[in-house]
Amino acid sequence: MRKMFLVAGLTAAFMLLVVAASAEKTSFAGTWGLDKTKSQGLSQRMMGADKVTLTITQDDKTISLDTKVEGGQPAGGGGGGMGGGRPPAGPTTYNLDGHEVTSDVTFGQNTGKRTLKATMSGGTLELMNKTSFTGPDGTERVNATTQKLSLAGDGKTLTVLTHREGGQQPTPDSTAVYNKQ
């Protein structure tokens, strides 16, 4: 009887390791096209665009996201990234080891700090992008965006849940659905 419990316990532990290992190896890499009919809370810029493409490159150590918005009206306000206002200029790269990366950033005449962090949990990738800077009136301002990326079981649909704090976006939460191209 003890052997049976021991074998069952070892089998369960092995299965947990297999599941954890497979979740850690989720790849979001590819070129993704925004499906506006399935998305919610997108900025006017994203909704008015002719085409929105998200390109993700990923290796064992990093993941980079680059959003390209084509057509439509020019960007009107802050925000950024997938589902927000104006997309960032060029790709944003996160380390996949869970450590924060901080860099200096410039906004016109203001300078600040940007902190990026990525964490993987059960097949969902959470990306945190926080920018702090001192405004013209001398007060510290913080804009933070958290995005949760998840793939459908077939790997052909990417859902990005975005939550923003700070800034001037009219909608702090959005859901962007992308189809693999």
Tell me the three state secondary structure of residue 15: helix
Place of tokens 């399935």: 38
Q: pTM of the predicted model, to two decimals?
A: 0.76
Per-residue confidence band for 24, with pLDDT thresholds at 50, 70 and 90: low
Q: Residue 95 and residue 13: Cα distance in Å, rounded? A: 28
Q: What is the pLDDT of residue 170?
A: 65
| Per-residue pLDDT tens digits for 116-127 | 999 999 899 999
Percentage above 90 pLDDT, the chain? 60
Structure tokens at 91: 């790709």
pLDDT, mean over the chain = 82
* Residue 145 pLDDT greater than 90, yes or no: yes
Give the dihedral sign, CA 161/163/167/169.
Answer: positive
Structure tokens at 115: 């902190």
Q: What is the pLDDT of residue 2?
A: 59
CB 42 within 8 A of CB 54: no
Tell me the three state secondary structure of residue 153: coil
